[in-house]
Structure 1
Amino acid sequence: MNSTDTSNELTTPPAPSLSKVEQAKAELCGLDLEPRLAELAAAGWDNLDEATLTIRLKWLGIFFRPVTPGRFMVRLRLPNGVIRSDQLEVLADAVDRCGEHGSADITTRQNLQLRGLLLEDMPPLLAAMERVGLTSRQSGHDNPRNITGNPLAGLDPEELIDTRPLVEAIQTRLLADGGPRNLPRKFNVAVGGAPDSFLLHNDLAFLPAPHPQDPAAPLGFTVMVGGFFSAQRNELAVPLGLWLRPDQLPAFTLALLRHYDAHGNRVQRNKSRLMYLIDGLGLEAYRAAVVAGYRKLAGESAPAPLPHDGRHLVVRAPRDGLGLQAQKQAGFHWAGLHVPMGRLDAEQMLELARLARDYGSGELRFTEAQNVLIVNVPNHRLGALQAEPLLEWFRLEPGPLQAEAVSCTGSRYCSFALIPTKSTAQAVIDDLERRLELPQAVRTHWTGCPNACGQPYMGQIGLMGAKARQEGLMVEAAKIFLGGSMGQEPRLAELHEKGVPLSALSDVLEALLVERFGARRRTTLA
Structure 2
Amino acid sequence: MNSIDTSVDTDTDTHTASAPASGRSAPPLEGLSKVERAKAELCGLDLAPRLAELAAAGWESLDEATLTIRLKWLGIFFRPVTPGRFMVRLRLPNGVIRAEQLELLADAVDRCGEHGSADITTRQNLQLRGLLLEDMPPLLEGMERVGLTSRQSGHDNPRNITGNPLAGLDPEELIDTRPLVAAIQARLLADDGPRNLPRKFNVAVGGAPDSFVLHNDLAFLPAPHPQDPAAPLGFTVMVGGFFSAQRNELAVPLGLWLRADQLPDFTLALLRHYDIHGNRVQRNKSRLMYLVDGLGLVAYRDAVVAAYRELAGASSQAPLPHDGHHLVVRPPRDGLGLQVQKQAGLHWAGLHVPMGRLDAATMVELARLARTYGSGELRLTEAQNVLIVNVPTDRLAALEAEPLLERFRLEPGALQAEAVSCTGSRYCSFALIPTKRTAQAVIDELEKRLELPEAVRSHWTGCPNACGQPYMGQIGLMGAKARQDGQMVEAAKIFLGGRLDHDPQLAELHGKAVPLSELPDVLEGLLVEHFGARRRAAP
Alignment match, 1:262: 276
Residue identity opposite 1:146 in structure 2:
N
1:429 pairs, out of 430, 434, 443, with 443
| 1:15-45 Cα deviation digits (max 9, x unpaired) | 6732211010000000000111111111111
1:470 pairs, out of 476, 484, 487, with 484
Report runs of 4+ in structure 1 exceeding 3 Å deviation. 13-16
- What 5-or-longer segments of structure 2 have no aligned partner? 1-13, 18-30
Alignment match, 1:88: 102
Alignment match, 1:515: 529
1:119 aligns with 2:119: no
Instruction: Provide the TM-score with structure 1 as the length reference.
Output: 0.97
1:406 pairs, out of 420, 425, 433, with 420
Shift of 1:498: 2.4
CA distance, structure 2, for counterparts of residue 61 and residue 104 of structure 1? 14
Alignment match, 1:418: 432
SS in 2 for 1:497: coil
User: In the TM superposition, what are the counterparts of 1:287-326 in structure 2 within 5 Å?
Assistant: 287-326=301-340
| 1:63-111 Cα deviation digits (max 9, x unpaired) | 0000000000000000000000000000000000000000000000000
SS in 2 for 1:40: helix
Shift of 1:266: 0.3
| 1:438-460 Cα deviation digits (max 9, x unpaired) | 00000000000000000000000
Residue identity opposite 2:40 in structure 1:
A
Shift of 1:221: 0.1
Alignment match, 1:220: 234
SS in 2 for 1:424: helix
Percent sequence identity is: 87
- What 5-or-longer segments of structure 1 have no aligned partner? 1-12
SS in 1 for 2:460: strand
CA distance, structure 1, for counterparts of residue 49 and residue 495 of structure 2? 46
CA distance, structure 2, for counterparts of residue 485 and residue 135 of structure 1? 34
1:524 aligns with 2:517: no
Alignment RMSD (CA, Å):
0.8
Alignment match, 2:161: 147
1:373 aligns with 2:387: yes
Alignment match, 1:241: 255
| 1:446-478 Cα deviation digits (max 9, x unpaired) | 000000000000000000000000000000000
| 1:318-375 Cα deviation digits (max 9, x unpaired) | 0000000000001000000000000000000000000000000000000000000000
1:18 pairs, out of 32, 35, 40, with 32
Alignment match, 1:28: 42
Alignment match, 1:329: 343
Contact 1:149 1:191 (8 Å CA) reproduced: yes
CA distance, structure 2, for counterparts of residue 177 and residue 351 of structure 1? 37
1:69 pairs, out of 64, 71, 83, with 83
SS in 1 for 2:227: coil
1:210 aligns with 2:196: no
Shift of 1:14: 6.7
CA distance, structure 1, for counterparts of residue 311 and residue 501 of structure 2? 35
Shift of 1:497: 2.4
CA distance, structure 1, for counterparts of residue 480 and residue 281 of structure 2? 29
CA distance, structure 1, for counterparts of residue 277 and residue 426 of structure 2? 37
SS in 2 for 1:364: strand
Alignment match, 1:3: none
Alignment match, 2:353: 339
1:447 aligns with 2:461: yes
1:171 aligns with 2:216: no
CA distance, structure 2, for counterparts of residue 469 and residue 55 of structure 1? 36
CA distance, structure 1, for counterparts of residue 519 and residue 16 of structure 2? 50
Contact 1:19 1:269 (8 Å CA) reproduced: no
CA distance, structure 2, for counterparts of residue 20 and residue 151 of structure 1? 39
1:196 pairs, out of 188, 210, 220, with 210
CA distance, structure 1, for counterparts of residue 361 and residue 449 of structure 2? 32
SS in 2 for 1:498: coil
Range that drifts further, 431-440 or 295-304: 295-304
Bigger Rg, structure 1 or 2: 1
Contact 2:16 2:279 (8 Å CA) reproduced: no
1:105 pairs, out of 103, 111, 119, with 119
Instruction: Provide the TM-score with structure 2 as the length reference.
Output: 0.95
CA distance, structure 1, for counterparts of residue 106 and residue 256 of structure 2? 43
